[in-house]
Each structure stands twice: as C-alpha cells, then as structure tokens.
Amino acid sequence: MIPDAAQKFAGSPGDSRAVSAAGGVPPSRPPSLRASGAESAACDDPGTVEAMPRFAALLRGIAPSGRNMTNDKLRSVFEGLGLENIGSVLASGNIVFRSDVADAPVLEKRIEDALALDLGISSPTLVRTYSELRGLVDSDPFPGVTHSSNTYLTATFIKDLRGVPDVLPGQLHPGGTEIVRYDAGARAVLAITDNSEPNSAGGFMVWLERSCGKGITTRSWLTVQRIVRKLED
C-alpha cells in the first residue's frame, strides 16, 4: 500500500476502511476478481484469457497531474485484483481489461474499493463491456459531424439509471449544447456542444450532475473510439 494512502485512511475515522486507532486493524483487501461459480461469465474456455469478456473501466475525476493518478499506478490496482490484459487509454482514467466476472456492479464496487485502499482515490467507476461500447460506436450517433476545438462531441456515461433524465433529441441546454440522444445499451447521453466560446459545456454538465448525481463521467467521442480500438488490440 502506498504510504500516503495509509495516512489518509488512518486519519479518516469516519471511513469504514480506516485503520482502527484502538486496535490497529488494517483495512480489508477487496477480494480477487478471479471468478468462480455464479459470477463467472459464459465463455468457450474459461481457463483461457482470450476467452474472457472484455471491459473498460471509466474512472471519474482522474487528472494526469495527480500523483497517485498516473496510468502505471492505476493499472497496478487492476493487476492486484487479478484482472487480465490490462491497458490504459490516454491519461483520463480509462482502463481496459479482461475478467471472467460478468457482473458490472461487482466489478465497479471492487475496483472502487481497491482504488481507495491502494491509492486513496475516491473515484466513481463505471464499467462497460466491449460489446456495449462497440455497439455505441457502430450506431454512428454523430453522422457528418467531426469533433474539433469548436465542436465537442461527447458521451456522458451514467451509473445510477434511476436518475436518467427525459432526454429528447435536439433538446438545447445552457451554453449551446444539443442532446443527440440517450443510448440505452451503453447508458450514455450523447451531445454536441458549440465550443466557439470556451468552456461552453459547463452549464450542461451542471444540469447532468444535478439530474443524474455524481456517478457520471464524460468522454470525448474521439476518446470513446480510442477505447474501443484498444479493446480490440
């Protein structure tokens, strides 16, 4: 465990993962994500890594300037959970991996717990399967439009579907953001922002967080495409 993370938890008595001041009980390690029984995904040969389902973990609030947020440290957390074929895309918290655990909420919870324990990062984690992201890209939600400095194409992934707003195609929001649609397969709101005025998407993001809570994370369309290509490597 990284010393800074240990100090963080030791100094946070309200956190259930904190080290007990009286008994010195160390925080528990999240169980390995090597699955068995009901948690195992159906695959032709469960013992073969290449047969395991492919996933992308989208972490919220990751910045390359964060000392414990570098890709090598993030990947080490996933390695510690027993995941396979781990890779990273850019420096914004996109980790791809294979696992024979098919339950996305189980993956999300154990990844979140391990990030907090190992790196002191409290980051909502949203897991999507390769097929969900491949289907999103194949649906071509932005036909004829190219992501640029003046035109932002984004996908905001949502964790708690109870907060999904009533999204209508063409709906406009503060700052000139137009909602294209909500993709049920990938659980993502797709939008186009006129960014001719810098930081135009701010009002839209405030609305999304107010509607859906903090369990959301946004990626540019170019990043989504890169994640899918990485999953196919």
Based on the fold, state whether residues 89 and 150 are members of the same structural domain: no
Tell me the C-alpha distance between 82 and 86, whole Å.
10
| Pairing verdict, β 84-88 and 54-59 | unpaired
Domain that holds residue 175: 134-231
The list of the chain residues with pLDDT below 50 reads 1-26, 36-46
32 within some domain: yes
Q: How far apart are CA 183 and CA 174, in angstroms?
A: 21
Shared-domain flag, residues 217 and 105: no
Q: What is the CATH number of the domain that holds 34?
A: 3.30.70.1280
Q: Are 116 and 157 members of one domain? A: no
Q: Which residues pair with 158 in a beta bridge?
A: 216
Beta bridge partners of 131: none
96 and 142, same structural domain?
no
How far, in Å, CA of 226 to CA of 155, rounded? 13
Q: Quick one: 21 and 110 in the same domain?
A: yes
For residue 96, what pLDDT is reported? 98
Domain boundary (123, 142, 163) is at 123
Q: Which residues pair with 124 in a beta bridge?
A: none
For residue 136, how far is the Cα from the chain centroid?
15
pLDDT of amino acid 104 = 94
17, 115: one domain: yes
Task: Tell whether 156 and 118 lie within a shared domain.
Answer: no
Boundary-marking domain end, from 73, 92, 123: 123
Domain shared by 68 and 173, yes or no = no
Q: Against a cut of 0.85, is the pTM above it?
A: no
The pLDDT of residue 94 is: 98
Q: Are residues 115 and 13 in the same domain?
A: yes
pLDDT at 145 (0 to 100): 94
Count of domains observed in the chain: 2
pLDDT, one tens digit per residue, over 110-130 is 999 999 999 999 989 999 999
Residues 110 and 196 in one domain: no
Q: Has residue 64 been placed in a domain?
A: yes
